[in-house]
Amino acid sequence: MRCKIFLFSCIILLSFAQCNYVNKRLRHDDTILAKVHDDYLYSSDIKGIVPDGTAREDSILIVKNFIENWARNRVELHYAEKNLSAEEKNFKKQLEDYRNSLIIYTYESRLIEQKLDTVVLIEEIEDYYQKNKQNFILREPIIKMIYVKIPKDSLKAAQLARKFLQPDTILDYDAFERFCLTRTSDYYISINNWFLFRDLQNMAPITTFNEELFLKGNRLIDLTDDQWRFLVRIYAYVTKDGISPLSMEMENIKNIILNTRKQELISKMRENLYEKALKNEDIEFY
């Protein structure tokens, strides 16, 4: 009988929520949905938990789970309250510290939003990079390359691909693009951007125990497996422990510069407020 009443109450409440209408009687009387010891869950407590457009069956399940989770939580809370000392349950200082931290954080965030200069010139980025190259050591090799994947038995396509990839640069990009679109199963062009050598190894069956020697000795790679032929032209590379190129670090350096500005802005604000308080004798030390 209780289950039927409970389910009926849920259906009524969900109908109201989905129609964006709350009966005045429910709003004023606030129907009780569950009780754990002396703690009550009311209809207003679950208002808005069901997204608009949710199916009726799903809506009922959402409400039922919410109510059950609330009951479980209140049962544990009740026994925790009974078994902890008054001192253990006193969180006044922690709550005050947390509130103060939130207030300060909100104020500082607003200050940053209003006063932070977010324009970072390319000259600033280049200057930072030149002065801090030791902070941009590569942990793994990077490459500039072109990769194509073609069916293993497509010998003419393989010959044409080698012809395109043999020179130090693609002589006819339009022709090469047409070739890739019509004769390859997959291709990737990364001449202007750097590419992780590890990612290439995931694309082609490249196995090596010495990445540096491999990259030094292989400019045009031609590999096959049971079905495919993989052709890779390496145009440039930087080995592990080398300096990461500026082009790879642009966004990273920009964020570093902006974070430094934020810290300087906050530090200056804090110092100005402190000096002002001292001057106005708002601070007294005993």
Q: Are 146 and 187 in contact (CB under 8 A)?
A: yes
Interhelix angle 246-279/122-131, nearest 10 degrees:
100
Range of the domain at 189: 136-238
Residues 6 or more apart whose Cβ sits within 8 Å of residue 127: none
- Report the amino acid identity of residue 178: R
Q: In this structure, is residue 127 part of a structural domain?
A: no
Q: Are 248 and 194 in contact (CB under 8 A)?
A: yes
Residue 198 has pLDDT above 70, yes or no: yes
Q: What is the pLDDT of residue 195?
A: 93
| Residues 28 and 47 grouped into a single domain | yes
Residue 9 has pLDDT above 70, yes or no: no
Q: Give the residue among 227, 199, 228, 231 at the shortest CA–CA distance from 218.
A: 231
**What whole-number percentage of the chain has pLDDT above 70?**
90
Q: What is the pLDDT of residue 38?
A: 86
CA distance 175 to 161: 11
Q: In this structure, is residue 111 part of a structural domain?
A: no
Structure tokens at 156: 């003419």
CA distance 174 to 151: 22
| Residues 197 and 221 grouped into a single domain | yes
20-43 per-residue burial string, b: 16 or more CB within 10 A, e: under 16: eeeeeebeeeeeebbebeeeebeb
Higher pLDDT pick, 90 / 130: 130
Q: In this structure, is residue 33 part of a structural domain?
A: yes
Residue 18 has pLDDT above 60, yes or no: no
Residue 27 has pLDDT above 90, yes or no: no
Q: What is the pLDDT of residue 14?
A: 44
Higher pLDDT pick, 119 / 171: 119
Distances (CA, A) of 265 to 99, 101, 203, 255: 23, 18, 46, 15
| Residues 72 and 34 grouped into a single domain | yes
If you average pLDDT over residues 144-166, what whole number do you get? 93
| Residues 234 and 250 grouped into a single domain | no
Tens-digit pLDDT profile for residues 220-239? 999 999 999 999 999 999 99
Q: In this structure, is residue 217 part of a structural domain?
A: yes
Q: What is the pLDDT of residue 23?
A: 38
| Residues 205 and 256 grouped into a single domain | no
Q: What is the pLDDT of residue 7?
A: 44
| Residues 157 and 76 grouped into a single domain | no
Residue 149 has pLDDT above 70, yes or no: yes
How much is the pTM? 0.69
Q: Is the dihedral of CA 89, 94, 100, 103 positive or negative?
A: negative
Residue 21 has pLDDT above 60, yes or no: no
Residue 15 has pLDDT above 90, yes or no: no
Most confidently predicted of 29-33, 77-81, 143-147 = 143-147
Contacts of 27-33 with C-beta under 8 Å, sequence gap 24+, read 33/6, 33/9, 33/67
Structure tokens at 237: 């590379």
**Which of 83, 104, 126 delimits the end of a domain?**
83
If you average pLDDT over residues 152-167, what whole number do you get? 92
Q: How many residues does the chain have?
A: 286
